[in-house]
Amino acid sequence: MLHRRPDVDPGALLRKVFGTAVPLSFQRTPDGVSTQVYRIQRGAEVFYLRTAEEAWEDLETDAELHRRLRDLGVRVADIVHVEPFDAGIGRSAMITTEVPGVPLAQIAEPAVAASVIEEAGADLAVINQIPVTGFGFVRRRGRGWPLQAEYADYVAFAVSFLPEPWPGPLPSLFGAADLAAIEALIDYERSHPRSSAVLSHGDFDVTPVFCAGGRYTGIIDFGEIRGAEPLFDLGHFHLHDTSAPLLPALLKGYERVLALPADHTEAIRRSAILLGLRQLCRWLGPPRRYPLDSPAVTDRVHRITELLTARS
């Protein structure tokens, strides 16, 4: 399991940015494992500070993305300050305004949840039109624009983290028919490479979508941004959308901005399976090495099997 990084002290940076005229306090949020996220209370105002995951990363890339998304009308936090490298924290840090409300994951009313995710779908469609050079996680170096990702070609990204030699431990987790279907899907992706990538939020489900008073207020947490196929975020959502399916409402909002291809249902399913498989293989491999019977592994295998069964 990944261990939550220890706390840092952003006090010096906050005093530099906000001064000392108005008292402020800060507290680490429950989320944030590989990054530290702090909620800042300054009088009646609320801000958030996020640190870079690695010491060499510069969150100016994220800040520039936020600025451009806001210019496009996407509801994301505004940028207050970016520090390329803060000695006290040990890495880059970014301070933003608050996106008010609570995560959609906390909303129990189906009609409210559907209305909120529909509005978020329209914003997601705007995000998914921003071009990225390459596939995989976006590199955060300086302003980093246009956005650059880690893999030069789609196939390298599509099969990243899959076991070598194939199939590794997967026969212990999947039946022969399901494993054959997975192999057929991988072969399909290898034979249908994408020539260009678009921006994906990278972790789009009901957690980073915020709402207040039953209304959509914005999207947070762009820490997992990457270059991917156009339907990657929809596939990610489909992978995790299991309790009270909201995908139809999401697609309704999405199509208000961007037309979906005729085969989008199958393409979203393929994307969800492939993403789930890559994540599963990351968990099984170094350095995590989850046991085959861990709840995370068994739950993911069950979901992938469900998606395989739903194939057309």
pLDDT for the residue 5: 84
**Would you place residue 296 in the very low, low, confident or very high pLDDT band (cuts 50, 70, 90)?**
very high
DSSP character string of the chain: -PPPPPP---HHHHHHHH-SSS-EEEEE-S--SSS-EEEEEETTEEEEEEE-SSTT--THHHHHHHHHHHHTT---PPEEEEEEEETTTTEEEEEEE---SEEGGG---HHHHHHHHHHHHHHHHHHTTSEEBSEEEEP-STT--S-BEEESSHHHHHTTT--SSTTTTGGGTS-HHHHHHHHHHHHHHHHS--S-EEEE-SS-SSSSEEEETTEEEEE---TT-EEE-TTHHHHHHHHH--SS--HHHHHHHHTTTSPPPTTHHHHHHHHHHHHHHHHHHHHHSTTT---TTSHHHHHHHHHHHHHHHT--
**Would you place residue 312 in the very low, low, confident or very high pLDDT band (cuts 50, 70, 90)?**
very low
Q: Give the full edge-to-edge strand order of the sheet including 24-28.
A: 24-28, 37-42, 45-51, 91-97, 79-86
Q: Domain 11-97 adopts which CATH fold?
A: Phosphorylase Kinase; domain 1 (3.30.200)
pLDDT for the residue 186: 97
Domain with CATH 3.90.1200.10 in the chain: 102-309
Domain with CATH 3.30.200.20 in the chain: 11-97
CATH of 102-309, one of 2.60.40.10, 3.40.30.10, 3.40.50.1980, 3.90.1200.10: 3.90.1200.10
Mean pLDDT of 172-187: 97
pLDDT for the residue 311: 67
Share of the chain above pLDDT 90, in %: 92
**Would you place residue 1 in the very low, low, confident or very high pLDDT band (cuts 50, 70, 90)?**
low
Question: CB-based contacts of 66: which residues, under 8 Å, 6+ apart?
Answer: 76, 77, 78, 79, 96, 222
Mean pLDDT of 49-63: 94
Residue 33 has pLDDT above 80, yes or no: no
How many angstroms separate the CA atoms of 264 and 47, rounded?
38
Share of the chain above pLDDT 70, in %: 98
Q: Name which of 59, 174, 39 is nearest 99 in CA terms.
A: 39
Q: Which two tokens stand for residue 65?
A: 């993305």
Segment 100-140, tens digit of pLDDT? 999 999 999 999 999 999 999 999 999 999 999 999 999 99
Q: Which two tokens stand for residue 221?
A: 């947490």
Residues composing the chain: 312
What b-and-e string marks burial along 240-271, b requiring 16 or more CB atoms within 10 Å of the CB? bbeeeebbebbbebbeebeebeeebeebbbbb
Segment 4-25, tens digit of pLDDT? 888 999 999 999 999 999 999 9
